[in-house]
Each structure stands twice: as structure tokens, then as C-alpha cells.
Amino acid sequence: LNVFDIFLGIMSAIGGNVDIGQLVFTIQAGAKFQYLLLWVVVAGTASIIVFAEMSGRVAVVLKKPAFELVRERAGPHLGLVVLVASIGVKLLTCTAQVGGIAIILQLLFGGEYRLMMLAGAGLLMAAVGLMKFDWLDRMFGLLGLCLVVYAFAAVSLAPDWSAVAQGFVPRRPASGMPGMAVYGYFVVGLFSAILMPYEVHFYSSGAIEEKWTVRDLPSNFSNSVMGFALGGVLTVALVVAGAQAYFGKGIDPHLVGTVALPAALAFGTKGLLLALLGMLFAIAGAAAETALAGAYSVAQFFGQPWGKDRPRKQAPVYHATWLAILVAALAVAQTGVKALEVVEYSVIFAVVVLPFTYYPILRVAGDRKAMGKHANGPFIQAAGWLILSAIAVAAVSAVPLMIVSHMGEG
């Protein structure tokens, strides 16, 4: 296995686990419930590993990425509804990322918010337009790894490790913590943010972009396990760092600057700069991932040619779509909407689309006629159904919990 081979998994995972909304949401989870939600991170990470591996395997064996399966299994009418909903979620997510990039650039270099947004979005469009697919995932995957500083910060801030270990077992919130409605909202929000549908749209298309064949199935396995497990470790570190920096101190972190502070508390300005750099590339990677995932979905749904490395003339719909998503996201962000409010809506509404993304993958991956010896074994198929049931429960409860908990504010 070449070390560069695992960057598709790392970029997919970082784009999902530590994008702008997830960064703030995760730190908030630690600030409100200390280590109580760590079990959700483990459950979400295990779930995305199972489904990312499945989507990559199907893409490699059948040469069919995730959205082609959605169209085939859901039919053209329901498929179109899923496509529109999923593009809406991707646009919301991308808007939030573009706003987030501007805030990080301000935290690093100062300057005016809208100007920084233009600069950040311009650089992002240039990178997506000019770089080859494998260099895109290497750059964002590698530089996003600066976020590992949170893992060191979590250790350096000296948590009570036995309390951390207890967080991996589900428990009710203790007295002094927000109530069950807020707890439920954070469970559903964390779980679904780790399973955001654009991750598998991007990952399965990326497997085809990387020209994987059945001989690369071990690479698919290591990408999904190592990449998404790394995303899970970073998320655990963020929860612990958030708990150490803010739990019991009366602070409800809801600003990007607040997210960077635990790294500064642990390692001073060097920690702060490393955290900001990691956040910049993770958020920019998430923006690129959502825009490209949107382009894959549209082109695959309408049977148009697609591919990051294909010339624009050969795949005009694909190239026009990712550019349109980035431009639309920039235009919406320029109106001054708050990036973090936008992303909270996107995460919760994405949950409703989740079953329509994961159900077709599970059905096809378990189909022996189509997949032959590469079909799911009984254990993975059972795990897939269990996860899909959890996703369905999350999908049904997401919007009511958002209303009852006032978006987690209690």
C-alpha cells in the first residue's frame, strides 16, 4: 500500500468530520455534556466506515458510484427529489464552508470579512479547477492533518481518563447539564454529521477517479478504515478538548475563534496557528468535497460524462455544476448570513436525505447476483441493516428535536 493511496479516505473523512459546522458542534458537545457524547462519535465512525467501504467496493466492482445507485433503485421521480434535496444540502454546507474559510483567514491575517471570502473562494476555485484529483485529495488531506494538534491538546489539557472512558458508554445527562431534548439533538446532529451523504458520493466517485480495480479492494478497505477512523479520532479529541476548555465554565462555544482556543491554551501561539491552518485546509477541503460531490451527483443522475481529470469540453455538465455550486455558495455567503447557523440547518436536513443515500448502497452491496464474491458477508449485511435502522430513527427525529430543543439551545 502506497502512503499516498489513503488520502482519498482522509480527505473524505476530514471533509465530513471536521468541517466548519462539525468543528463548532463537536466543541459545543464537549462544553455542554463533557465526555458524555463520545459513544456517538464511535457509533458514527463505525457506521461511516462500513458504508464508505461498501460504496467504494460497489463503485470498484460495478463501476457505479453512489448516486447512480440512487437513481437506479429509487426510480427517476423519487430519485429527482433526492437529487434536489441533496444538492440543496450541499449548497447550504458549501455556503457555510465559504463563510468559515473567510473567518479563518481573518483570524490568521486580519482584513475585511467579505474581502477575505472573495480571496478564499477565488483560491479554492483555482485549486479545484487546476489541480488533478489525486493532488487535490493529497493537499487537503495532508494539510488538514494539522488538526492532529487537537489530539495533543486533549492529552495536554489533562482530562480525567476514567471519565473519558465512561463517555464511550451511553448514559443520561447528569444534573447541571442541559436536558434530554438538547442531548437528543446533539446525538442526532453528531451522528448525522459524521454520516453526511456527500462523503460517500465523493468517496465512491473518487474510487472511480483513482481508477481502482478489484485488485485495489484492499486499498478501498484501508482507505475507509484508516481515513474515517482518523476522522473519528480527531472528533474524539475535539470533544475532549472542548470539555477541558469550556465544560462547567458557563461558555457555550459558538464562534470559530472559540474552537481554536483549546489549542492555544495547550501550546500557546504555535498551537493556535497550527489549529487555524488545519481548520483552514479541513474547511476548504470540505468545500471542495461538497462542490465536487454535487457535480458527481448531477452528472451521474442525468447520465452525463463526469470526472475531475476529464477536460471541460468532455464533461461540461460536471465542470459547470461544481463551479456553479461554489459561485452560488459565495453569492449566498456574501449576503452576510451566519455560516454556523446555515450549517446547523444543513446537518439536520441532511439527516432526512440519509436513508435514501445509504439504502441503495446496502441493497446493491448485498446483492450476490450483481456483486458475485464481492457481495457483503452476513455480518456486514446485518451491521448495515442495523446502521440503516439507526439512520431512519435519526431521520424521523431530527426536525422535531431541532424544534423542541431550539436548535440545541434548550
CB of 407 to other proteins, least distance (A): 10
Query: Could you tell me the CA-to-CA distances from 60 to 39, 204, 208, 310 in Å, in that order?
Result: 32, 8, 7, 19
CB of 251 to other proteins, least distance (A): 5
CB of 178 to other proteins, least distance (A): 6
Nearer to other proteins, 24 or 59 (CB): 24
Nearer to other proteins, 234 or 260 (CB): 260
Nearer to other proteins, 88 or 257 (CB): 257
CB of 114 to other proteins, least distance (A): 14
CB of 353 to other proteins, least distance (A): 23
CB of 403 to other proteins, least distance (A): 13
Task: Tell me how far apart the alpha carbons of residues 3 and 149 are, in angstroms, rounded to a whole number.
Answer: 21
Nearer to other proteins, 251 or 323 (CB): 251
CB of 175 to other proteins, least distance (A): 8
Nearer to other proteins, 62 or 337 (CB): 337
Nearer to other proteins, 114 or 406 (CB): 406
Residues near other proteins, by CB under 8 A: 103, 106-110, 176-178, 249-258, 260-261, 264-265, 268-269, 271-273, 276, 406, 409-410
CB of 48 to other proteins, least distance (A): 31
Nearer to other proteins, 162 or 269 (CB): 269
CB of 292 to other proteins, least distance (A): 29
Query: Could you tell me the CA-to-CA distances from 378 to 219, 365, 394 in Å, in that order?
Result: 22, 11, 24
- As a three-state string, the secondary structure of the chain is CCHHHHHHHHHHHHHHHCCHHHHHHHHHHHHHHCCCCHHHHHHHHHHHHHHHHHHHHHHHHHCCCHHHHHHHHHHHHHHHHHHHHHHHHHHHHHHHHHHHHHHHHHHHHCCCHHHHHHHHHHHHHHHHHHCCHHHHHHHHHHHHHHHHHHHHHHHHCCCCHHHHHHCCCCCCCCCCCCCHHHHHHHHHHHHHHHCCHHHHHHHHHHHHHCCCCHHHHHHHHHHHHHHHHHHHHHHHHHHHHHHHHHCCCCCCCCCHHHHHHHHHHHHHHHHHHHHHHHHHHHHHHHHHHHHHHHHHHHHHHCCCCCCCCCCCCCCHHHHHHHHHHHHHHHHHHHCCCCHHHHHHHHHHHHHHHHHHHHHHHHHHHCCHHHHHHHCCCHHHHHHHHHHHHHHHHHHHHHHHHHHHCCCCCC
Nearer to other proteins, 250 or 378 (CB): 250
Closest CA to 361 of 67, 78, 80: 67
CB of 110 to other proteins, least distance (A): 4
Nearer to other proteins, 149 or 375 (CB): 149
Q: What does the radius of gyration of the chain's CA atoms come to, in whole angstroms?
A: 20
Nearer to other proteins, 233 or 260 (CB): 260
Helix 7-17 vs helix 133-144: crossing angle, to nearest 10: 60
